[in-house]
Each structure stands twice: as C-alpha cells, then as structure tokens.
Amino acid sequence: MKTIEIRWHGRGGQGAKTAALLLADVAFKFGMQVQGFPEYGPERSGAPITAYNRISDREIRVHSNIYYPDYVAVVDETLVGSVDVTAGLREDGALIINTVKTPEEAAALFPDYHGRVVALNARKISEEALGRNFPNSPMLAAVVAVSGLIPKDDFLREMRSSYQHKFAKKPEVIEGNMKALEMAYDAIGGQAR
C-alpha cells in the first residue's frame, strides 16, 4: 500500500485533532502503521488548527508536517477563504468538506482545485444522530469512506469497540455516535466515484 497522507483543518475545540487521533487508532487496529499528530501552538478555542495522519503498511519515519496530502478534511466550512485548505492537495485525492452545500456548489468554492470535492453535512448528521453538533465523528467516517481505507462493516465494528472503551462511563452516547458514523459513511457512498 502507498502511504496515505491526510490533512485536517478545523477550529480549536471542534475535535479535528481528536478525529485525526481516532483515525490513527482505527487504522492501527487493522494492522496498519500510523501517525496522528496536530500542529501545536498555544490552545486557542476557535482559532484555525491543523492535524495530520500518515497511514502506511511500512514504518513511518518522516516527522514533518504534510504538504502534499492525498486527502484534506475541512471540519469547518468558515475556514475556506482564510485558510488555503487545498494547498498541495493531490488531484488524484479528494477534499472532504463539512457543508450544507451540494457537491457541485462545494466544488465551486475551489476553482483552482481540479480533484474531487466531497460535500458532507456533518452538522445535520450529528444533530440528527447525537442531538448535538459534533462534526468530527461524521467527518471521520467520511474520510474512511472516501479514502477506501477500511470497509464499512469492519470500520463500524471496530469503532463500536473503541467507543465502548472511550465512553465506558456514558454508554448512552455510543449509539448516537455509531449512527452518525453510519449515516456519514452512507452519505459518502452516494458520491462515490
């Protein structure tokens, strides 16, 4: 397998870093070599943040940030315009954005990017499934679905076991998170190439 590089854009407090770490986690469970790391600075809620993943079948030695990602996940649409989210993004990869826009409308936001743009209304999914706006779970599922990293059933099974561990003290949120993941994965299915 080729090393897959993913860059996450979000705002402090939205869980983009958590999503990157969860992705590293789930890929690890499937025997892959993983890296998950945020670009660190002083903690500032709401400020633009970047997080990264490298996923491979061989040892990952590079410790720099990612400049030519295969996939970019934009957790907060309002970043577009102030952050150059498509910088270096490979045209055979994809940009996945949390937006109310249609895929066509979303693609129009990035006239200079000629690769695939995937639109996901992560907020709506999260609010329907969880009753709250936690866009990172749907975005995680979207990245897994778009990259084809892990088949849906395997992914959901492993995430359930992760959530059971993570939310041992509040099991009531497990089902909502699982629902959010599945809805997001299926929503991407419709936009699959």
| Residue from 4, 6, 19, 34 binding another protein (CB under 8 A) | 34
Nearest approach in angstroms of CB 143 to another protein is 16
Give the residue carrying structure tokens 């990869």: 93
The CB-side HSE value for 142 (13 A sphere, CA atoms) comes to 33
| Residue from 10, 15, 36, 93 binding another protein (CB under 8 A) | 36
Interhelix angle 16-29/152-166, rounded to 10 degrees, is: 110
| Residue from 2, 42, 82, 165 binding another protein (CB under 8 A) | 42
Q: Which residue, 25 or 158, has its beta carbon nearer to another protein?
A: 25
Q: Which residue, 64 or 104, has its beta carbon nearer to another protein?
A: 64
Which window, 17-25, 106-114, 124-132, 157-165, contacts another protein (CB under 8 A)?
17-25
Applying CB under 8 A, the residues found at the interface with another protein are 21, 24-25, 28, 33-38, 40-42, 59-65, 67
